[in-house]
Structures are given as C-alpha cells and as structure tokens.
Structure 1
Amino acid sequence: MEIGLQIFLTFVVVVQLIIGNLTNGFIIVKNFIDWVHKRKLSSVDQIFIILAISRTGVIWEVLVSWFKPLHYSFSTVDREEIKISLLIWVVFNHFSLWFATVLSIVYLFKIATFSRPIFLYLRWRVRKVILTILLGSLVFLFLNMIQISTHVEDWKHGHERNTAWNSTLSESAVLSKLIIFNMTMFSFIPFILALISLLLLTISLWKHRQKMRLNSEGHSDPRTEAHINALKIVVSFLLLYTTYFLSLFTSWISQMHQSDLMHALVLCITLIYPSSHSLILILGYSKLKQSFLFVLRPLKCKTKAEDQQITIP
C-alpha cells in the first residue's frame, strides 16, 4: 500500500513538474517574442517574465532538495554547498513572492475606483511606487541572505563543538526549520501588502456594484469583470502561497518523525504554488490566454481527428 502511494505521489510530482515548466516557459517565450517584435514590454508583462523565471527556479530548487537528501558530513565543501543551495532558494523565493505582491498592487491601481486624493496620487505615480517597493525589497533580500549565511555558519560551528547537538533532529529537519523561520520573517510584509490589495479590490468591487444598481444597469460590465478577474488572481496567490508555507512547515514535522510517505505528500503540496498559479495567471490575462488557447488548438484538433479515425469503421 505504501509503495503504491509512493508511486502515485511520484507521478503527481512529475505532472506538476511538466505543468509548471510548460506554463512558466510559455510566459517567458511569449513575452520574449513580443519584446522582439515591439522592442518594449508593458510593466505587467515584465512582472510576468520575472515571476515565471523565479517560479521555475523555485520548482527546480524544491526538486533538487527532494531528490538529493540533505544529509551532509559538514565538511567545508558541504557547508558551502548548503549555503549556496539555500541562497539560491532565497533569491528565487524572494522574487516569486515580491513580484506576485507587486502584481496585486498593479491590479489594484489599474482597476480599483477610489476617489480619495492619496489613492489618485499613488495611481498617477504607480511606476515610482512599484520601483520604490522593489528597491525596498532588495534590502530585505540582502538581510535575508546575511541571516541565512549566519545561521549556516552557527550550525557548522555548533556541530563541530558538539557532535551530538542535533541528536533529536535530523540535519534536513534543521534545514527545514531554518527555511520556515526565514519565510516567517521575510514573507510577512509582502503577504500583508497583497492582503491589503485584496481587501481594497473587494471594497472597490462592492462600491462599483452599488453604483451600477443605483443606475439600474447590469452587473456584467467590463469593469466588474476586471475586478472579479483581479480578485481571482490575488486570492489564488494568497491561498496557494499559504499552502506553500504550510507544506514546508509540515515538511519539517515529517522530517522530525522520518516519514518518507508524508515527505512525498508534502512535496506534492509544495509544488502546487509555483506550478498552478502561473496557469491561473495565463487564464486570467487575456493576451496570454488567447495565445495559450491558440497553441492548444492544433493539439485539440489532432486529438479529435484521431478519435474520428478510431470510431469510423
């Protein structure tokens, strides 16, 4: 039974790997082609490219950490290998989180209909607002990398002083605990910013619908649809990132109890965020959706043709 579940979970991981690489690769290639033709990209397209690159990195970093067990001898080479691996994950995870948050803020300023002076002031200077947020995030990235390097060094020296220091925890469990601590510290601000964007978009949608009712107009106008589409993207990001965070926390628990089956399940759940949200972005962004459906159309036609050949005697 356990072997069967392991095979099934491995199959799910492979499917998520394929979906994640195809969707993120599609976003990168599509925007690169547009850049070659037009020699410029919109701010949203630029955000999409960096999101796709960072999430591809997150996917492969998660897989590498899974298929290459983190049980090191704490030699100098191993210590550097641990540090480099963690720093790579920090960079990819940082840009994946912050640019998804920036995308939520961009949707807020482009779609929400508030008449407050402060909101209008920020909307008129949305590029400067986004640039300021991203430059500020680099400070957090720098502090994050220092914190990771310091913890790895302390971990190494602690092991050298006392070889039994981690007798109750596996070395991979200690690494998972470090990752969780890292995410808790440095994910709070962007997560709150995305949550605020969600709340403001919800309020804007409610006010817009109230206005539509007073004017006795329908509810399926373009602005309402834009609100709903933006809310779907932001809500999916918040939910999937929360799942991503909780899966890493569960991974730490599973490694403490040395449960390989639980760890495999956690891997499947962890890959949902970087693999699925990019597909949601494609389906929620009209330009990418049209191109994506155009790419899938020949495959669909080919499948129908094969089915007709099978059914015709």
Structure 2
Amino acid sequence: MSTVTQTTLLIIFSVEFATGILGNTFMALVNIMDWVKKGKISAVDQIVTALAISRFAFLLLLLIIFLISDLYPALTTTEKMIRITNASWILTNHFSIWLATCLSIFYFLKIANFSSSLILYLKWRVKTVVLVTLSVSLIILFVNVVVINTHIGVWIGQCKSNTSHSSIASNVAQLSKLVFLTNTMFTLIPFTVSLIIFILLIFSLWRHLKNIQNYSKCSKDISITAHIKTLETVVAFLLLYTVFFVALAFQSWKSKTHHRNPSNLILLDAGLVFPSGHSCVLILGNSKLRQAFLSMMLWMRCRLKDAEVLDFLEHIRDCLPYSRG
C-alpha cells in the first residue's frame, strides 16, 4: 500500500473515532446531567444513554485492539488475548446494535398508526416490549459467545497438534474468518428486526395519509411530521447499519487478516461509520440534544471571540513600550 493511501485511511479512521467518542460522550453527559438536575429520566433517554456508553466502550475497544495489533502483533495470536478480544468485541458490539434496535422499536410503537389489537397492546406496554427485547438479546448474546468460544477451542486444539509457524498463521486466518462469519450471522437478527420496523413505519404512514381526509390540516401536519422524522432517523440508522453489516460480511471472506492491509483499513473505516455516524444522527434528531449541541457551539464561539480580543489587547500592550520609545 502506498504511504499516501495508508495515511489517508488512517486519517479517516482517526476522524471517525474522534467523532464517535465525542458524539457519544456528549449524548451521555447531556442526559446524565439532565437526570441529575430533574431527578428523573425518560425511557428514551435511558436507551440513548446506555447506547452512547456502549458505543463509547466499543470504539475504545477497537482502538485498543488496533494499537495492540500494530505494536505487539505476536500477542494477538495467544489464546488468552484471542478470548479476551473476541468476548469484549462481541459484548460491546451486541449492546451497541441491540440498544439501537430497541430505540427504533420504541419510536415505532410511539407513533405507529395501526388498529390491530396486538399493536395497540404493545403501544400501551412499550417499556415492557423494550425490556423483553433486551432480555431475548441476552440469550442471543450467550449463544453467540458459546459458539465463538467453541471455534476458539477447536483452533487451540489444531495449533497444539501442529506448532509450525505457517500452520499457526493459517489457523489464525481461518479462525478470524470463522469468527467474523459467526458474528455476521448473529448481527443479521437485529438488522432484520430494524428492517421490519422500517417497513411497518412506511405502511403506518401510508395508512395515516389515507385516513386523514376528515381531519384538520393542523392535525395532519403534526402526525405526518412525527412519522417523517421517525422515518428519517430509522432510514439513517438502517443505511449506516447496512454499511457496518456489509463491512463485517466482507471481513469473513478475506484471507488477509493484518490490519494494515489496504482492504482491511477500508473495511475498518466503513465499519466505524455506524457507531460514529449514528451518534450524529441521534443528536440532530433529538430536540434536547440538538439544542444542547447548538448552545455548546455558541458558547465555544463566544469563548474564541473573547480569546481573540484578549490576544489583540495583549498585542497592543506589548507594542505600547516601543511606541513610547
């Protein structure tokens, strides 16, 4: 890989990482401060806060794995490190994805316009639905960890039977592909749920547009706006999720596992779009977070202007002795 290409991909990685860390930290801090101030926190803010914390942990873990692979490559092939990194990645990625899925479910049940008794039943118990979804996801997490650990156990047995360097390198590549393939299959479950929610939201909007003829224009505008805003959030989530899913799937087909490989860096950058970009979508789509962000930007702008004025005054003060002379 040329130095220019590698540097460009690493810069993209750094920007995505910084955006994700700052964005998710901002969301968590705003909601926690609001919780402390008011003494209570809404259900949607609980989900967003938990999601932000899980994304922060996920991004930090990716950086640690990246640095270890770069500085101590031999360490990444040890049994202990493989088990730790895989378990940590599965855990943080699981909550990052499933909490985002729960957020989509929450929004859907809040604005869905269906006469079905089942949907109405779920709408009245939206918190219970989210809790049940998370509980089921924990079962899926347990199965995912067991399957991955089984693959690692088989890999260890193969390494012990053949200790040559070429054989170990080949086994590491095979294990990596198998792990990515397994994680891709488990990631497909929440992706399918999110896709179903998107289709149901479109159908709900279509039904609403069909039934609004006898309502006032104000009521129509309010309901349609709510549908469209939710659809925009879910569409952005699905697009970013699709990029992440495709990047994960391609990782399971690749034979080269070194993170400095050009295709691996491209896939890494593509995968980071989801946890980093989705935080920006959530900030812009949430009125409280958006207002807090705009207030922070205004405060920073004022501070910068004050700093510029102080620098100008100090410059004038420094020039005065020379003027007198």
8 Å contact from structure 1 (residues 13, 268) kept in 2? yes
Asked if 2 retains the 8 angstrom alpha-carbon contact of 1:112 and 1:204, the reply is yes
Rounded to whole Å, the distance in 1 between the matches of 2:169 and 2:247 is 18
By how many angstroms is 1:281 displaced? 0.6
- 2:226 corresponds to which residue? 226
C-alpha distance in 2, partners of 1:74/1:238? 32
User: 2:20, 2:275 within 8 Å by CA — same for their partners in 1?
Assistant: yes
Listed as ranges, the matches of 1:88-103 within 5 Å are 88-103=88-103
Q: Which amino acid aligns with 2:268?
A: L
Asked if structure 1 preserves the Cα contact closer than 8 Å seen for 2:284 and 2:290, the reply is yes
**Identity in percent:** 39
- Cα RMSD of the aligned pairs, angstroms, is 2.9
Alignment of 1:168-183 (within 5 A): 170=170, 173-183=173-183
Distance 1:74 1:132 in 2: 36
Corresponding letter in the other structure for 1:195? L
Give the secondary structure class of the aligned counterpart of 1:256.
coil
Q: Where does the alignment leave 5 or more consecutive residues of structure 1 unmatched?
A: none
Residue 293 of structure 1 is matched in structure 2 by 294
1:86-120 per-residue CA deviation (whole Å, 9 max, x = no partner) reads 10111111111111111111111101111111111
Given that 1:111 and 1:226 are in contact with CA atoms closer than 8 Å, whether structure 2 keeps it comes out as yes
Deviation at 1:257, TM superposition (A): 8.0
Distance 1:227 1:64, change over 3 A: same
Tell me, yes or no, if the aligned pair for 1:71 and 1:171 is still in contact at 8 Å. no
Structure with more relative contact order (C-alpha pairs < 8 Å, separation 6 or more): 1
Match in the other structure for 1:195: 195
Contact 1:12 1:268 in 2 (8 A): yes
CA separation of 1:224/1:254 partners in 2, compared to 1, >3 Å: closer, same or farther? Answer: same
- Partner of 1:41, secondary structure, is coil
Aligned to 1:262: 263
Letter of the structure 2 residue corresponding to residue 181 of structure 1: L
For each residue in 1:131-161, what CA deviation from the matched residue of structure 2 results, as whole angstroms up to 9, or x when unmatched?
Answer: 1111111111111111222211111111111
Give matches, 1:94-243, under 5 Å: 94-163=94-163, 167=167, 170=170, 173-213=173-213, 215=215, 217=217, 221-243=221-243
- Give the 3-state SS of the residue equivalent to 1:271 in structure 2: helix
Cα distance, 1:166–1:300 mapped onto 2, change above 3 Å: same
The answer for the alignment partner of 2:319 in structure 1 is none
Cα pair distance change 1:179/1:299, threshold 3 Å:
farther
Amino acid at match of 1:88: S
176-185 or 231-240, larger mean C-alpha shift? 176-185
**Between 168-177 and 33-42, the greater mean CA deviation after superposition:** 168-177
- Shift in Å at residue 174 of structure 1? 3.2
- Deviation for aligned residue 1:252: 4.6
- Give the C-alpha shift of residue 299 in structure 1: 2.8
Deviation sequence 1:155-203 (CA, Å, 0-9, x none)? 1111111246975965653343133222233223222211111111111
Deviations 1:223-246 (Å, cap 9, x if unpaired)? Answer: 212211111221222221221122
- Larger displacement relative to structure 2 (162-171 or 278-287): 162-171
Stretch moving more, 240-249 or 158-167: 158-167
Unaligned runs of 5+ in 2: 313-325
Q: 1:230 to 1:165 in 2, by over 3 A?
A: farther
Q: TM-score of the superposition, structure 1-length normalised?
A: 0.88
Deviations 1:247-299 (A, max 9, x none): 23334555528672222222211111111101101111111111111111123
Q: Residue deviations 1:293-312, cap 9 Å, x none?
A: 111112345567899999xx
Q: What is the CA–CA distance in structure 2 between the aligned matches of 1:173 and 1:125, rounded to whole Å?
A: 46
SS of the residue corresponding to residue 217 of structure 2 reads coil
What do the CA deviations read for 1:18-66 (whole angstroms, capped 9, x no partner)? 1111100001111111111122211111110111111112212222232
Q: 1:73 to 1:109 in 2, by over 3 A?
A: closer
CA contact (8 A) 2:184 2:249 kept: no
Decide which moves more: 265-274 or 204-213. Answer: 204-213
Aligned length: 308
Q: TM-score, normalised by structure 2?
A: 0.85
> 1:120 and 1:58 mapped to 2: Cα distance?
35
